[in-house]
Amino acid sequence: MSETVATRPGRPAARARHVIACHECDLLQRDHDVPPEGVLRCCRCRATLYRHHSDSLERTLAYALAACALWIISNAFPIVGLAVNGDLVETTMFGAVRVLYRDGMWPLSALIFITTMLMPACQALGLVWLLLPLRLGRTPYRADGVFRGLRVAQEWGMTEVLILGLLVALVKLSHIASVVTGPALWSFGVLMLMLAAAASAFDTRDLWARLEGHPDTGPAFDSDTPFPADTAAGCGLCVCHDCGLLTRIAPEQAQHESAYARLDAPVQWPEHAGHCPRCGAHLHLRKPDSLARTWACLIAAVILYIPANVLPVMDTSSLFGAQKDTIMSGVVYLWTSGSWPLAVLVFVASIAVPMLKILAIGFLALSANVRSTWQPEHRARIYRIVELVGRWSMLDIYVIAVLTSLVQFNALATVRAGPAAIAFGAVVVLTMFAAMSFDPRLIWDARKQE
């Protein structure tokens, strides 16, 4: 895949077209033509601004239609079963959700239902809702609201983490009885590939160009003169984090431009700068109360991280007695049973990643609080890594869901979710909220541009 870097005024550019702003560092720069399957990156923080895919919407529609059919199969048929003494016990994804709800673990049940069933369905249906009418020459109804909902569904759909969780659960179940894989296990795997392909191929620029009938031209600036300021906020502009449209803010926000340009004191950014005229999303020069909300979620996650690792995450009752397993004891069990690759995977996803994520977000928030100018490029890279790996901590939650729904043999053996499961699920969600609340543009605010 070829890479293109956006340019600043005064630097050579091949057919620079219109003005864009980076959603991570807010730097104002000029767009470039991107070759097919190429990517456009910010010239300062190297964030991905745009990916150009050929036949983007047609390919995305095909993937989304396939995902809709696979979602029905994945939730209608059993995922996996256990054969014990001639009896076969099977479960579906909804069956696992129902067992957790019956056992009083309704927060865990709701979390699994949202991330494995509701959000993947919304993602596939949202793409079909937007793209099928365009394919038929019509305009989709309420495209702006559906587009915003689609962005949320892509953030919280975790089918790829579910697949890894199912693999870990299969290893643990193989030591209890004979494992019978169901058709939903394979359809979930293909569903993961279809959703990933649809998200990768989806081109938001192409979508809005077809919806509006013309490409986005952005605000007009003289191509031969420098911008009035380095950032979009300094020029009275605000970039939409949903659709990417660069919009002029209301005149009453102009007082913040001079304060931002001086950078001699923390700028009190306004609550919001209106709504995006294209997709209707709230526009923010900076996320409201970004650091306060980040610290609140982070402190709550730190408090819950202790019971999540100390209390039992699973309670197992059998003819040989009762056993309470923590997350670490589950890692030890996988290691001693010979499944050391899965043991390493669970340790990284369930223990190392949450801890490192807490430390990384705390470092980013603290450096923004003290207005540090140390290595903003490295801190921006840390932020992107935190956003990328945050969801993988859900792996252990899906393992618990499968085990509790299958190992229900009454007198022989029974597995129930322990209190640490809810605490651990809360840690995952809170760290994701902390990462979403943090505004990466704060990393660059304390640095005066050369």
CB-based contact 202:151 (threshold 8 Å): no
Residue recorded with tokens 């029974």: 414
How many percent of the chain have pLDDT more than 70?
A: 84
Residues 6+ apart with CB under 8 A from 161: 115, 391, 392, 394, 395, 398
User: Taking Cα atoms as reference points, which of 160, 208, 217, 132 lies closest to residue 349?
Assistant: 160
Task: Count CA atoms closer than 13 A to 276's CA, side-chain side.
Answer: 22
pTM, two decimal places: 0.86
Q: What is the per-residue pLDDT for 21?
A: 87
Whole-angstrom distance, CA of residue 419 vs CA of residue 9: 57
Q: Name the CA radius of gyration of the chain, rounded.
A: 24
CB-based contact 407:414 (threshold 8 Å): yes
Q: CA 133: distance to chain centroid? A: 27
Residue 428: C-alpha distances to residues 38, 129, 301, 342, 383 (Å): 33, 31, 8, 20, 16
How many percent of the chain have pLDDT more than 90?
A: 31
The secondary structure element, H or E, covering residue 416 is strand 413-417
User: Taking Cα atoms as reference points, which of 185, 182, 178 lies closest to residue 83?
Assistant: 178
Q: What is the per-residue pLDDT for 263?
A: 42
Over residues 327-340, the mean pLDDT reads 81
Average pLDDT, the chain: 82
Task: Judge whether residue 269 has pLDDT over 60.
Answer: no
What pLDDT band is residue 87 in, cutting at 50, 70 and 90? confident
Residue 240: C-alpha distances to residues 59, 229, 243, 319, 416 (Å): 25, 19, 6, 59, 45
Look at 333-342, 344-353, 389-398 and tell me which has the smallest mean pLDDT.
333-342
Look at 62-76, 190-204, 359-373, 402-416 and tell me which has the smallest mean pLDDT.
402-416
CB-based contact 112:96 (threshold 8 Å): yes
Residue 396: C-alpha distances to residues 61, 156, 331 (Å): 32, 16, 10
Q: CA 354: distance to chain centroid? A: 15
CB neighbours (10 Å) of residue 212?
10
* Helix, strand, coil share (%) of the chain residues, nearest 5: 55, 15, 30
Residue recorded with tokens 């609080």: 369
Partner residues linked to 321 by β-bridges: 318
Partner residues linked to 414 by β-bridges: 317, 408
